[in-house]
Structure 1
């Protein structure tokens, strides 16, 4: 298959996530960057495009110019999908315009900044019939997919208890709120309703529903700005109920001093507990009630893994696979979908899954604002 051509909005010089996306797309092997609008600053956008080796005419000064310019090119030259790696407040306007211009959209999480914007996004997708993917990266790790086969596949019995946490320490002090990455995440005008619960809590939420295959139906949350002077939450926790009867807790915090990227999940079923941590992603620990503890690891030569895990495993056993490879799995599968060949066990999150994360954010904030009252989270998965 010829590489699928894509254009990127955002992710220019000084950005963190743009280079991650581009590196992952290169690892995927079936994607090719052909155009971009990398910054709202035209000069920075031009420098970014030049640094990436793009022709000047395909490095656009704005996202609207990109959509107009690409749409006017012959079908065999224009970008085939748009990757959106901007701050949250731009996800919806860029995506809606791209869908209406006929381009599929792969957007970073969370889906948007507000529920209203997310609903407008969803309406545009319904109206145009356009393809949408969301980059909930951690669900694309091989061992997470293996965990889903064990838990959602009901091979360990019903889920009884879940504990998930995503802890970081990079915003632990007031003086940490400097630089491009911190500034927009702490700004309600660009980040939206949520701080830490939107930035990393949505990953924890998505991981729970991905591995258990069971939607969260209600929650009780307490969110706060632990560092004085902040408007958005930088720390929070929630209790939740699963539709199948399981119970759980979720912690999302960016003020846990000393923690780097501490995403970890434990799921206890009737017959065993399943444990995975993002900072040691190649280890899935299964502790059975009546049996030895098992350590599952990825590898192209691991015959015991289920097909959804094997399909996205790229290297022989003993060679670590992590963040970039998981992003690559998302780009690989989305490119296949753009060409009309989506895998049944796709690695990218759907628009509906992105909407679920938005409803989680909104429900957590409703609960916290009302003294941690239990609130319902609509099951629209």
Structure 2
């Protein structure tokens, strides 16, 4: 272990529960793998499906005690909080419209929440959830997993250290092609149903990842935007393509493109940042590489755990340079950061300063982004400001 993130001999594993993520749920498997990679968690309970029979089948497949496979998240939250060996954290891996209810139920019991993105289906739900998190005092971790990639952390540190100088231009895109045609599948069904997504299609599913990445790496906040949302597939009720112009604090300007209908693109998340003194380029499909160009000099290739990289990326690298790390490891890094924070809180200590993870406030910003995009696009792409995020 290059980063030394594995469980030490004297630490007990964090007891983890899960809401959603049952049989055949892609994201449930991702969260379970991520939680196990560094051996900091043990899954002990779950409300794995809204269908009791499927929930029990999923629990059996995962080796859970049948008494800790619940038919509802409400029952699970109360029962686990009452147990001396109850869960300490819960992963919420349901569709968007089922985030606020479970997350609030566990926060009320003082149980830490690790929630998939976007935060909720509506900005009103997001505000209510943020208020609940403030009252609870429990940790809230949002799994914008791309922020866990080592070379993303490297780019963030380089910008914070001033290597690019004042920032001028931010270009970010996330293109896929899997919804180019009408697709009849469970994954497609809820992602194209406005009642379940909250009205945002591609902009909520992958646009929020691009938006979050741009703010995380640059350290800048988007203050206003102009959006043009399209639904190219006939009959589709949510956007499947979007172009967004953005104005950042400090004067930088940006462009975001996200698409579910771009043939030839699989998971093409890309970020380019340019300042007075140089530029950075990173692509998710080649996640171990970061291109750095000081103005007037040749491009330089930095590689994960390679020469010239700093502490921000090294602490999240697991294997030597040249061996690939990617999606699952990035997800696992969020779980690692969460475990460190949970243990610090349990011990009554401050969370170490180098521990970084997306919080509920990042989730609120993402919801404000979706809201602003929808408002702008419905008003002939007029420039709009973000709504007040105060819970």
What TM-score range do you get, normalising by the shorter chain? over 0.9
- Contact 2:127/2:389 (<8 A) preserved: no
1:380 is displaced (CA, Å) by 5.5
Question: Which stretch of structure 1 is more off in the superposition, 283-292 or 322-331?
Answer: 283-292
- Contact 2:176/2:265 (<8 A) preserved: yes
Deviations 1:246-300 (A, max 9, x none): 111000110111210010011111121100000010010112222221101112x
CA 1:186/1:221 → structure 2, altered by over 3 Å: closer, same or farther?
A: same
1:340 is displaced (CA, Å) by 2.1
Instruction: Select 2:376's aligned residue among 363, 367, 376.
Output: 367
What secondary structure sits across from 2:366 in the alignment? helix
1:191 is displaced (CA, Å) by 1.1
1:28 is displaced (CA, Å) by 2.5
2:254 corresponds in structure 1 to: 248
2:6 corresponds in structure 1 to: none
Once the two structures are superposed, the pairs formed by residues 296-375 of structure 1 within 5 Å of their partners are: 296-299=302-305, 302=306, 304-340=308-344, 342-375=351-384
2:4 corresponds in structure 1 to: none
Count of paired positions: 375
CA distance in 1, matches of 2:162, 2:332: 28
Deviations 1:326-346 (A, max 9, x none): 111111111121222533233
- Contact 2:110/2:137 (<8 A) preserved: no
What secondary structure sits across from 2:99 in the alignment? helix
Deviations 1:145-185 (A, max 9, x none): 000111233222111111111000000012x2x11111111
CA 1:380/1:272 → structure 2, altered by over 3 Å: closer, same or farther?
A: farther
CA distance in 1, matches of 2:286, 2:18: 30
Once the two structures are superposed, the pairs formed by residues 158-237 of structure 1 within 5 Å of their partners are: 158-174=166-182, 176=183, 178-237=184-243
List, as ranges, runs of 4+ consecutive aligned residues in structure 1 with deviation greater than 3 Å: 378-381
Question: Which stretch of structure 1 is more off in the superposition, 54-63 or 79-88?
Answer: 54-63
1:46 corresponds in structure 2 to: 56
Provide the TM-score with structure 1 as the length reference.
0.96
Provide the TM-score with structure 2 as the length reference.
0.93
Instruction: Select 1:69's aligned residue among 67, 73, 79.
Output: 79
